[in-house]
């Protein structure tokens, strides 16, 4: 090495040290708050824009750690981190069903949320779902209730009306699928949904069963109600879709796979959460401007009704966080009307703050929000409260049984009879 090079190297390393010092000095003004969240839709892409106002105001830095889209996978990881009292993650984005299972690891946010006025601004039922033994475990940031997405252009073309019962949906989907395939559109499918064996299938199947008047797996009083003829009929109906109006691959679909089929214009109907609305209307979507949403269809008979599984996400602050104060502040911001409005407009997430349903900007971006009150009236909670700590096992037993019926391994009646015994085992 020549002398000149050596000097240059020395000079550049000195420069690097200076730069590093400068960077740490800048960071010392605020703290870094890490938040983990599942990567669904454009949540990751929108995150920086979402937290920019908070970062500017506080001088802190919010860092998103993206996690797998499957809530089941997220939960496993989070519980491990929390049980090990990991201090690296400050804020957790939590599913509506996790509150009873993870309550002890999170900070009580009652005081902070009350001071920020979030308690009275939110829907009371949502606040209630996040309260365990009087402790507010997490602050709601958006709520979720699925809808039936339908192609307005195809329904119009074949003179069909929006189905209000599952029977109508099956008939319409079959008719349009057959006619479109006849016309050379060989890729078209009637109805896509979530049939993979995971938490999402629990949501889909709960809707079928509830809409048939078959109860909600475990009733709020703890009775296991799932083994009944209506529930069996509901599952048999869903099983009949696989390979007829729904591709066989639906048995491996989660939300994003079904959106993939839908958004490329290859499905007449889709069951999905509201996040798909904004994405389906994006410029590169094949169905932009050609679709609308309606409440999910109802089951047959006098007990038939429309049912939508109540979803939704919240933010909780870890008890083991090193930056609790800043973390709570970030949680309050993410739950505030300001952040929820940004999310509603850019990600199509349903706000939990009631006033936002009358906000002109939100309604301009999501005209269908006004109709969502109807869907909320039909919302069914998953049995996370009666199942408590065992919810995951209950849900896994349920979606495994449903998946077996859908893939034709067993008939619905015997699968449900076995499931009843399994659930008794888990809950005792």
Partner 1 sequence: MTTTVTAGSMAGTRSGESGLERQRARAAFWFLVPMLAMLAFVAAWPLLRSIMLSLTDADANTIFSGSYEWVGFDNYLRAQERADGTIRWRGVLVDASWWNAVWNTIRFAVMSVTLETILGLLVALVLHAEFRGRGLVRAAILIPWAIPTIVSARMWGWMFNDQYGIINHMLLSVGLIDAPIAWTARPDTAMIAVLIVDVWKTTPFMALLILAGLQMIPKEMYEAAKLDGIHPVRVFFRVTLPLLKPALMVAVIFRLLDALRIFDLIYVLTPRSSSTVTMSVISFQNIREFGDYAEGSAQSTILFLIILVFVTLYIWLGRVDLSGERSR
Residues that bind partner 1 (CB under 8 A): 72, 75-77, 79-80, 83-85, 104, 187, 195-198, 247-252, 260-261, 266, 392-393, 396, 400, 403-404, 407-409, 425
| Residue with Cβ nearer partner 1 (199 or 329) | 199
d(CA 267, CA 284): 16
Distance CA 230, CA 215 (A): 9
Q: Please identify, using beta-carbon distances, which residue of 73 and 322 lies nearer to partner 1.
A: 73
Q: How far is Cα 343 from Cα 94, in angstroms, rounded to an integer?
A: 16
Tokens, residue 277: 């609305």
**Nearest approach, Cβ of residue 400 and partner 1 (Å):** 6
Instruction: Give phi and psi for 197, each to the nearest 5.
Output: -80, 90
3-class DSSP state for residue 318? strand
Residues contacting 334, CB < 8 A, separation 6+: 50, 51, 91, 139, 141, 315
| Shortest Cβ 422–partner 1 spacing (Å) | 9
b/e for 374-390, b at 16 or more Cβ within 10 A?
Answer: ebbebbbbbbbbbbeeb
**Closest CB to partner 1 among residues 31, 69:** 69
Provide the minimum distance between the beta carbon of 100 and partner 1 in the complex, in angstroms, as a whole number.
13
What's the min distance (Å) between Cβ of 252 and partner 1?
A: 4
Of the pair 66, 301, the CB lying nearest partner 1 is at 66
Q: Are 276 and 255 in contact (CB under 8 A)?
A: yes
Residue 292 gets which letter from DSSP?
E
Nearest distance, CB of residue 248 and partner 1, angstroms: 4
Rounded to the nearest whole angstrom, what is the least distance from the CB of residue 417 to partner 1 in the complex? 14
What are the residue ranges of helices labelled H in 195-241?
Answer: 199-211, 229-241
Coil vs helix vs strand at 40: coil
Choose between 50 and 415: whose C-beta lies nearer to partner 1. 415
With left for phi above 0 and alpha for psi between -120 and 50, is residue 9 left, alpha or beta? alpha
- Among residues 206 and 242, whose Cβ is nearest to partner 1? 242
Q: Give the nearest distance from C-beta 270 to partner 1 in angstroms.
A: 13
Minimum gap (Å) between residue 424 Cβ and partner 1: 10
Pick 104 or 358: Cβ nearer partner 1: 104
Residue 413, C-beta contacts closer than 8 angstroms, at least 6 positions apart:
229, 232
Q: Which is nearer to partner 1, 366 or 392 (CB)?
A: 392
Burial class from Cβ neighbours inside 10 Å (0-12, 13-18, 19+) for residue 124 reads exposed
């Amino acid at each position: 090495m020549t002398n000149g090079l050596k000097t240059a190297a020395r000079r550049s390393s000195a420069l690097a040290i200076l730069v590093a010092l400068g960077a740490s000095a800048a960071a010392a003004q605020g703290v870094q708050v890490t938040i983990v969240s599942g990567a669904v839709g454009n949540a990751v892409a929108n995150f920086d824009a979402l937290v920019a106002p908070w970062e500017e105001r506080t001088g802190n830095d919010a860092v998103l750690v993206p996690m797998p889209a499957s809530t089941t996978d997220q939960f496993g990881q989070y519980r491990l981190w929390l049980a090990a009292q990991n201090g690296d993650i400050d804020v957790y984005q939590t599913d509506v069903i996790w509150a009873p299972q993870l309550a002890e690891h999170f900070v009580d946010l009652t005081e902070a949320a009350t001071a920020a006025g979030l308690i009275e601004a939110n829907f009371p039922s949502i606040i209630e779902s996040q309260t365990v033994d009087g402790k507010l475990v997490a602050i709601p940031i958006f709520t979720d209730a699925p809808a039936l997405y339908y192609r307005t252009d195809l329904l119009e073309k074949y003179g069909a009306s929006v189905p209000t019962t599952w029977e109508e949906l099956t008939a319409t989907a079959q008719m349009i699928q057959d006619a479109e395939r006849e016309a050379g559109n060989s890729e078209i499918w009637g109805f896509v949904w979530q049939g993979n064996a995971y938490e999402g299938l629990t949501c889909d199947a709960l809707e079928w069963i509830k809409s048939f008047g078959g109860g909600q797996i475990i009733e709020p009083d703890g009775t296991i109600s799932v083994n009944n003829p209506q529930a069996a009929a509901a599952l048999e109906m869903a099983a009949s879709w696989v390979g007829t109006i729904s591709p066989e691959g639906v048995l491996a679909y989660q939300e994003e796979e079904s959106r993939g089929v839908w958004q490329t214009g290859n499905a007449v109907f889709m069951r999905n959460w509201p996040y798909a609305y904004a994405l389906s209307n994006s410029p590169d979507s094949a169905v932009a401007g050609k679709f609308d949403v309606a409440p999910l269809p109802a089951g047959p008979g006098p007990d038939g009704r429309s049912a939508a599984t109540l979803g939704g996400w919240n933010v909780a602050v870890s008890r083991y966080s090193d930056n609790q104060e800043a973390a709570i502040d970030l949680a309050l911001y993410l739950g505030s009307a300001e952040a929820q409005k940004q999310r509603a407009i850019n990600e199509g997430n349903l706000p939990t703050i009631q006033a936002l349903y009358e906000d002109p900007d939100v309604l301009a971006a999501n005209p269908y929000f006004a109709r969502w009150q109807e869907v909320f009236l039909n919302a069914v909670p998953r049995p996370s409260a009666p199942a408590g700590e065992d919810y995951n096992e209950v849900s896994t037993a349920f979606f495994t049984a449903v998946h077996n019926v859908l893939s034709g391994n067993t008939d619905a009646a015997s699968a449900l009879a076995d499931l009843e015994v399994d659930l008794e085992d888990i809950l005792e």
